[in-house]
Amino acid sequence: DIQMTQSPSTLSASVGDRVTITCRASQSISRWLAWYQQKPGKAPKLLIFTASNLESGVSLRFNGSGSGTEFTLTISSLQPDDFATYYCQQYNSYSRTFGGGTKVEI
Amino acid sequence: VQLVESGGGLVQPGGSLRLSCATSGFTFSTYNMNWVRQAPGKGLEWVSFITTNSGLKSYASSVKGRFTISRDNAQNSLYLQMNSLRAEDTAVYFCARGDTAIDYWGQGTLVTVSS
């Protein structure tokens, strides 16, 4: 199974900060990677698909990049609504895997 | 698009439960579907995937041999049969639409495995 490792697990930041979250795959997944945002008690929300494609309606503050085994999610200027937990997910095969999550807190 | 899970509840270790997901607002038969779970206070864990015609099903190693995914395209519904349940299966189970990335999620149904 493909393992996904996210870092950091927790990130402390302030409004206006630029933040970067990293996701590493245990083997190449080409660009078959998605990023999700989840708030407490809610279902996850798709932000980015195919590594760098912004889902419709998602703020341009969010940017995804990478290919192969290393990927990043960057939030250009953190807003109060962005404090949440972020997950990466690979879908290179019919077996999917999520990263462990990154909690972005104040 | 709506995905509404049901069937969760309290079950004893070793017991069984069948989750259902009723869908609407899209052509169910043309989308691959998933189940994803989240244990209390923990991260997301992908559980299972099924293709449009049920021709391919895949499972996380943690549930393989105990869980079975199925679908009824005529009823626009997705199912998860869970057998030999363990305490570590306690989680909110989400029904999720996605051929690749998951673009729509249900609100989840809580399964608690405890004596």
Per run of 10 residues, the mean pLDDT along chain B (length 115 residues) is 97 98 97 97 96 95 97 98 98 94 96 97
Residue A86: list chain B partners with CB under 8 A: none
DSSP bridge partners of B68 = B81
| Model confidence at A106: pLDDT above 90 | no
The position carrying tokens 């049969």 is B81
Strand (E) or helix (H) holding A104: strand A102-105
* A36 near B CB under 8 A: yes
In angstroms, how far apart are the furthest CA atoms of chain A? 38
Residue B44: list chain A partners with CB under 8 A: 36, 38, 44, 87, 89, 98, 101
Q: Do A32 and B103 touch (CB under 8 A)?
A: no
* B56 near A CB under 8 A: yes
Q: Do B46 and A49 touch (CB under 8 A)?
A: no
- Average pLDDT score, chain A: 96
pLDDT at residue number A32 = 95
pLDDT at residue number A57 = 96
pLDDT tens sequence across A4-20: 999 999 999 999 999 99
Residue A100: list chain B partners with CB under 8 A: 43
> Predicted confidence band at A74 (pLDDT cuts at 50, 70, 90)?
very high
pLDDT at residue number B91 = 98
Average pLDDT over residues A59-87: 97
CA distances from B32 to A23, B46, B49, B75 (A): 25, 14, 7, 15
Average pLDDT over residues A24-38: 96
Burial class (CB in 10 A: 0-12, 13-18, 19+), B109: buried
Centroid of chain to Cα A72:
7
Burial class (CB in 10 A: 0-12, 13-18, 19+), B37: buried
Torsion of Cα atoms, B44 then A100 then A37 then B86, to 10°: 10
> Predicted confidence band at A93 (pLDDT cuts at 50, 70, 90)?
confident
* A56 near B CB under 8 A: no
pLDDT at residue number B99 = 81
Tokens standing for residue B113: 């495995």
pLDDT at residue number A94 = 79
Q: Which of A43, A97, A99 sits opposite B107 (nearest CB)?
A: A43
Closest Cα in chain A to B45: A98
Residue A1: list chain B partners with CB under 8 A: 61
Distance, in Å, from the CA atom of B60 to the CA atom of B85, rounded to the nearest integer, reads 15
CA distances from A48 to A63, A106, B59 (A): 8, 23, 24
